[in-house]
Structures are given as structure tokens and as C-alpha cells.
């Protein structure tokens, strides 16, 4: 993964980017030590594997992660070139530092539990777990943390580097390789602890995390981009301009089936406006064709102002 985001040193955007990295790195560390590790979860990545090792052979999570992350960064730079950028390196070391700090001061006690047990056998959990609630909270924390790091222009590094290296020498897509690597790490909980629910909850955590990352990086998709093919161009145009106070672009298109030329309207509206427009089009032209696309960000007049980056 690469990043081309470059900010002027100490500029507003530079401070914002590194503040996002700082907050995201701390949240990730807190989520891993206080929510993921006590429940023996492994939601992919080097820290997922570090959590498994930490439970099997007690050594600090940060030590295990250091032994994996730094060689991977060096190996990735050697094989793939300097693709990772200073932000990814900063994020990697911040997470390592925060994980070390939290596990040293807090330990590995769970935040979410239903009370401690007594007289438990060696190797058993020493608390009554609430797997679902803990997985939900851990997924939210992970999602916010990684979302902030991604939004800053940094990347996750870690096990993703393994996927990138494999991608270089195979014809398998990067997305498929990331899924394979993280799924393999997730399944280690089954072999290490013999509990089917652990990889299931880990996968649920990954799902919650990925949805939240999309929201933070791309925003809530509240706008609809429409391509409307209609025989009643004037009526639909008036509805967009006069009823919704929106604009659009019209161009001519030719149908492939009959070769008939028809008007095509391109416009972007809010979700509520789309509901009104859809009802109006149904009355104006029930045979109209509408292609609806979710838009995460709309820039320009009438929407969000195009921001200028510091130079």
C-alpha cells in the first residue's frame, strides 16, 4: 500500500494528520490489550498472532509484534521498494509503544465481564465473559482506530506486507491474499485453544471494524448519484430544478436494443430528495430507467466546498 499524501511540516494538515495517527494508534493499542487479548480473539494482522502467542507463551504482546512488524517493514522495503512512507513507520512505532505502556500498567484484565470466578482450573478464563458485547465494543474501537490511521494517509503495514509480497510473485489479487492471510491468523485461535466460537467472534469483529473504517474514511453515504433515461425529459428536468432545487447534466444516448436516441440525465441528490424524485418520476414516466449509485463525497457548488491542501 502506498500513500501520496504529503503535508508541509507543521502546517494545519500536517498537525491534523499526525494527531489522527496519535489518537488512532492509542485506540488500537487500548482495544487490543483491554478487549481483544483477554477474550483470546485474533482478528487478523500481526497483533492477532501476537495475542495468540501471548496467551500460549506469556511474553509481552508488544515484544511479539515488534519481532514481526519490524522485519516485515524491512523485508517489504527490500522486496517492494520504499512504499510505506514515514506515516506508516510512525504509526507502527506508536502502536508498539502504546501497547507496551498499556500492558505494563493495565495488564491483560478484561474491561467487559460479568464478575470474577473463584477456584478456576489452570488455563481457564478467570472471569465470566460476555463475548458478544466485548466483540461489538472491540470492533467499534478497532474500526475507529484504523479508520483514523487510514484517514491520516498512513497504512496498516503488518500482515498486509505479506499479502503484498505474495501478490508480487503470484497472480492472486491483493484483496484475496489479505483475506487469506487474516483468515489464517484468525483460525489459529481454533487450533491453539480448541474453541470454535473464538474464530467466529474474531470474524464478527473484523466485519464490524471494516464497516466502521468505511464510514470514517469515506463518510456516511447520504448522497445518490442518478443516471435517468426517460422519454419525458422536460417533466423530469422540471422536477429536479423546481421541486428539488438541484441541477444536473443532460446528454444524448442511444439504446442498444432498438437504436432509439433518448435523453440521459445525470444528477446528484440527497437521500430524502431521491425518495421524492423517484415518486415523481413514477408519475411522469413509469417506464423510465434509473441507475442509482451511492456517493460517499460530493464536491463543488451546492455541496461540499473543494478544500485546498497546504503547499
User: What is the reported pTM?
Assistant: 0.75
> What residue spans define the domains of the chain?
12-218, 223-295
Q: What is the DSSP letter of 157?
A: -
CA-CA distance, 208 to 275, in Å (whole number)? Answer: 28
User: What's the pLDDT score for residue 34?
Assistant: 95
Cell numbers found for residue 163: 499479502
**Sheet holding 223-230: strands in order across?**
249-254, 261-270, 223-230, 289-295
Annotation: CATH topology of 223-295: Alpha-Beta Plaits (3.30.70)
Phi then psi dihedrals of residue 20, to 5 deg: -65, -40
pLDDT averaged over 10-residue windows placed end to end, the chain, 311 residues:
54 88 95 94 91 93 94 84 78 94 93 69 69 95 90 75 80 73 89 91 91 78 86 90 88 79 87 85 89 80 62 42
User: What's the pLDDT score for residue 136?
Assistant: 96
Residues in the chain, overall count: 311
160 three-state secondary structure: helix
Amino acid at each position: 500500500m502506498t500513500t501520496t499524501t504529503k503535508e508541509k511540516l507543521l502546517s494545519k494538515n500536517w498537525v491534523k494528520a499526525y494527531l489522527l495517527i496519535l489518537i488512532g494508534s492509542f485506540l488500537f493499542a487500548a482495544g487490543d490489550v483491554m478487549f481483544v487479548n483477554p477474550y483470546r480473539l485474533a482478528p487478523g494482522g500481526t497483533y492477532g498472532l501476537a495475542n495468540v502467542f501471548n496467551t500460549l507463551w506469556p511474553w509481552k504482546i508488544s515484544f511479539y509484534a515488534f519481532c514481526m512488524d519490524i522485519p516485515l517493514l524491512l523485508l517489504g522495503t527490500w522486496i517492494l521498494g520504499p512504499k510505506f512512507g514515514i506515516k506508516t513507520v510512525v504509526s507502527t512505532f506508536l502502536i508498539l509503544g502504546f501497547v507496551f505502556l498499556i500492558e505494563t500498567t493495565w495488564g491483560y484484565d478484561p474491561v467487559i465481564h460479568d464478575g470474577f470466578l473463584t477456584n478456576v482450573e489452570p488455563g481457564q478464563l478467570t472471569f465470566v465473559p460476555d463475548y458478544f458485547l466485548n466483540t461489538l465494543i472491540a470492533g467499534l474501537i478497532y474500526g475507529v482506530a484504523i479508520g483514523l490511521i487510514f484517514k491520516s494517509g498512513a497504512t496498516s503495514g503488518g500482515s498486509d506486507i505479506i499479502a503484498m509480497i505474495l501478490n508480487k510473485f503470484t497472480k492472486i489479487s491483493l484483496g484475496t491474499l489479505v483475506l487469506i492471510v487474516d483468515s489464517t491468523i484468525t483460525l489459529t485461535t481454533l487450533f491453539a485453544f480448541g474453541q470454535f466460537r473464538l474464530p467466529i467472534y474474531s470474524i464478527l469483529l473484523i466485519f464490524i471494524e471494516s464497516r466502521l473504517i468505511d464510514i470514517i474514511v469515506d463518510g456516511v453515504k447520504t448522497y445518490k448519484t442518478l443516471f435517468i433515461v426517460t422519454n419525458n425529459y422536460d417533466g423530469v428536468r422540471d422536477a429536479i430544478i423546481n421541486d428539488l432545487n438541484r441541477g444536473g447534466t443532460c446528454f444524448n444516448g442511444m439504446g442498444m436494443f432498438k437504436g432509439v436516441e433518448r435523453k440521459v440525465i445525470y444528477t446528484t441528490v440527497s437521500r430524502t430528495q431521491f425518495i421524492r424524485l423517484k415518486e415523481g418520476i413514477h408519475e411522469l414516466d413509469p417506464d423510465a430507467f434509473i441507475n442509482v449509485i451511492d456517493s460517499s463525497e460530493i464536491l463543488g457548488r451546492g455541496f461540499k466546498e473543494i478544500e485546498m491542501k497546504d503547499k
